[in-house]
Structure 1
Amino acid sequence: MISNYKQAKAYLESFIDYEKTSDFDYKKSIKLNRVKLLFKQFKIPYQKLRTIHIAGTKGKGSTARFCAQGLAASGLKAGLYTSPHLFDFRERIIIKSPGCQVARSPVSKIRSQMISKRDVARITEDFRKKLNDFKLPEELGKISFFEIYTALAFKYFLEQKVDCAVLETGLGGRLDATNITRAKVSVITHIGYDHTHFLGKKLSEIASEKAGIIKKKIPVISANNFRSAAEVVKKQAGQAASRLFIFGRDFKASNIRLKPKFTIFDYSSGSKKINNIKISLLGRHQVENCSLALTACSLFTKQDFLKKLKTSLADLAPEGRFEQLSTKPLIVLDVAHNVSSFSALRDNLKLYYPAKKIILIFGCSRDKDVEGMLKKIPYKKLILTGVDNPRCFTSEELKEYVSGSPVITPDIKVALAEAKKAYRPGSIIVISGSLFLAAQTKKLW
């Protein structure tokens, strides 16, 4: 019997966790039919949960957070399901709702609450009992951690009677456990090369997996993607008779002002327009992510709520997104973990820290394009470090992909010490490559 959070956590972690390994056959191991049987066994009426569903290579986490923040600002109770997490896997299941009124403002402060330890234990015990006499057909394979935790999120959101749940896909989209939903709005963020040995070597193949979340006659909102990816999204939306809204064509961001600590822009969609939207996340790519979210929220709520957002969006500052950890020495942490997001990181470094000599601390997962990522950053010194996760390269393994003489250390503490030794006025220490690396780094602060 599970009676507390510690026992629940141990039980959940006993299921196979594909986030901690890259050694599996994606199409054989990830099965949506298994998820449907699991939800049926748990008696979860998932069709009743109204959702916004988000897939993509880059920006889906930020877009999901912008969506939940926007929904809460409009007066709705919003569930937010994202992955992976930094410190506590309860971070994956959050409810955002209108909170206290801000003085002299029509806007309410948004209240954000992780699922409680008690609720995790209670729901997990319910699942455990229902799995005791449950046997999956052998051809459907084993239940994964992500699948059972997705079920937990759905059950919790339904119990809490959220008005909308914002769901971020875990891997791909077509076969992802979250794709059990029939969303009210589907969102496709920027598509790039990532998880290529699972999703395909060609951008069109990756796009096909991501666009697998598109449902019949459900509106689709898309980033301004590369042509080969955009054509796939357009084709699949057409086949589903789903109206397609594309950033830069159907809704736009203009008058973008990139400040040292925030970004301001004007948003327009048809006759709707709001000026001077302020967000705390830095970079042009976050303007696009926010615009995707604003359009998704508008379609979901079918009301003009944009004027309520100015304060709410400025309050949103997820950890690890181009986050300045220190000024002396200057240290920036970013969860960039693929070639596309490293391009955005490079652009941000050029914009916010021009002419700084970059000392890069780097570690990443085994399924990443190490050379492609490192080529994006014009570092002066490279420090390779290990990450405490079996899915990630060791620092010694990373050396095989790098020419020259990088510093090699398995310990992020030592890596930071080496970076500080090399630091001079005019330098910047950048830590990036993996969310797992970001989590280990944040624990030192």
Structure 2
Amino acid sequence: MARTFFGTDGIRGRANGIITPDLALRVGMAAGLVFQRGDHRHRVVIGKDTRLSGYMIENALVAGFTAVGMDVLLLGPMPTPAVAMLTRSMRADLGVMISASHNPYDDNGIKLFGPDAYKLSDELESRIEELICGDMTGMLAQPANMGRAKRIESVHARYIEFAKRTLPRNQSFDGLRVVLDCAHGAAYRVAPEALWELGCEVVTIGDQPDGFNINREVGSTAPEALMAKVREVRADIGIALDGDADRVLIVDEKGHLVDGDQLMAVVAESFHEDGRLARNGIVATVMSNLGLERHLGGLGLSLDRTPVGDRYVLEHMRTHGFNVGGEQSGHLILSDYSTTGDGLVAALQVLAVVQRRQRPASEVCHRFEPLPQVLRNVRYKSGRPLEDDGVLKAIAAAELKLNSHGRLLIRPSGTEPVIRVMGEGDNRDLVEAVVNGVVEAVGLAAA
């Protein structure tokens, strides 16, 4: 059946628009039914970020899961990777994260993890959707078999200890002044404490969530506040998480932003030097800068590319045996430690390299010169502009002009009627001209 609710990262939409109490209730019932395997007492862990609508969705999910006989362990505000880790650690049958990641507060979402702590397959999501759209009345648990709900208080310490154990036992960050931006999100408690326990002098911003301010002018999607704070307090480095802390960006001591491509290069080189880099390469999406690919190639390392989305990166990593992957946006997946992107764990790996090399973050984190990259979005009303003869000719002409000096990427958005045109190459003027030519052709076809 066609997927009605699940996108590339769970179910997401406006609270009390797409994400209603009724939908959350039905998701809890359906997922609970799908994951009741065997005759043991089944349980699910539920975490959330700091959005006001999280209370509503959490309670509706609890009602759904308990109605079909699953016990519920409530974690409260916790990062998405912490929920994944605790799902496996607590031997749960299912994990749920209530979050819309980097979106504003009036959106929310439901992400599901299996007992192996990985996001669900398309097949499992389709089975859950089929139940959501059907009649589950006859599948409810008998009164004596209904589930219970319990709030777990020790989870913050467990996740902090897990994050710290991704570093060598004797690792210390004594002497490092770090500005940490928690995006008023899910990591506002655990991330500052973890850095403090490791010896950092921590200056924290974005750590006062009020239900409405998640990602608002803070976090990895709005790093300007962090850049200013790093310069103000003369910090050694800045760390920007997003609302559910599964992505991270870095700001160096000069206040300059370091994106996910540079961070992947830092981690890949460090792992390679230590003999820990699997397959002598990493996985990134088609959006990662060509400069990263060339830099890795100069080190004898490969870069495998996937479609946009950390889900596709992880699938490729699992299938082909890579242990480092990520996106330019800051999703870094280090599969030796996590089954999903983990902003805190990735930040700790970068801090370890900075501390070990005893060089400024601006030197350590600037691994290559990115090629000029131009991205344009063209909105259309209907039809298939990319199949138009004029557009196809413009694309062919653009690729011929770039030849081996760059690349062109044209793709429809998966969430809105937009064609994304991205070009990059050694010559910015040439890239601008090539992209503008394609954009003009798409615009004519879409008119």
Whether TM exceeds 0.5 here: the answer is no
Q: Which has the larger radius of gyration?
A: 2
TM-score (norm: length of structure 1): 0.30
- Which protein, 1 or 2, shows the higher relative CO under an 8 Å CA cutoff with sep ≥ 6? 1
TM-score (norm: length of structure 2): 0.30
